[in-house]
A and B are shown apart, each in its own frame.
Chain A
Amino acid sequence: DAMVIQNPRYQVTQFGKPVTLSCSQTLNHNVMYWYQQKSSQAPKLLFHYYDKDFNNEADTPDNFQSRRPNTSFCFLDIRSPGLGDAAMYLCATSPWKGGGTDTQYFGPGTRLTVL
């Protein structure tokens, strides 16, 4: 089945220790998004890629970086995780057709714990 896959599902890191979360998709969508979701809140968009074009949200901290080496894969790098970065990180994808009835399709998420 075509899907969005996130690894690992659970990640524990130490305060200040860099961590990388990965996302892959078999949907062949040209847009990939990274969201942060804290408990009982809506997902908050961090950035997205349209093909290789990177689009950062204005309020995304510099501590968060992303890489997209090819259509299928996208990575979220947190350079120096703080306690406030503990959250669920969601990857989503969408095609781009300029309208129509498509939307974003989410992966299962990676739960990040910062000790």
Chain B
Amino acid sequence: QQQVKQSPQSLIVQKGGISIINCAYENTAFDYFPWYQQFPGKGPALLIAIRPDVSEKKEGRFTISFNKSAKQFSLHIMDSQPGDSATYFCAARYSGAGSYQLTFGKGTKLSVIP
């Protein structure tokens, strides 16, 4: 119930292409869905996030698509650049008693080749 399933585990995309990472969840109590970008040796950085009552959110080249009925959401990176090469984690937030608990997907290692 608490799992977030993320795919693919790794992704290779050519520069200028579209990168797509998919996540699925089961727990309908999750109330917010952030994506984190992590470069080697660094902490995860919040990239973009979406509320479950919104079907799409776009920030620059990054778009989240959210399908509440299917309990799925995805990250699209348009015009992928070598600098986007990183590990991406989807997460699902549960608002508990006094804290936000995040359940992370297992991560997708994205490599953008010139």
Contacts and interface: CB of A to CB of B under 8 A. Distances in A.
Given A41-B107, A42-B106, A42-B107, A102 B100 contact: yes
B104 A104 contact: no
Contact of B100 (A40, A41, A88, A96): A96
A18 interface: no
Interface residues of A, number: 31
Contacts of B44: 43, 90, 106
Interface size grouping (class) on chain B: 20 to 34
A98 interface: yes
A42 B99 contact: no
Interface in A42-63: 42-43, 45, 48, 50-51, 53, 55
A109 B43 contact: yes
A102 B46 CA distance: 11
Given A43-B44, A111-B41, A103 B104 contact: no
A51 B99 CA distance: 10
B93 interface: yes
A48 B98 CA distance: 10
A99 interface: yes
Interface string B85-107: 00001010101001111101111
Contacts of B89: 42-43
B61 interface: no
Interface of B: 31-32, 34, 36, 41-46, 49, 51, 89, 91, 93, 95, 98-102, 104-107, 109
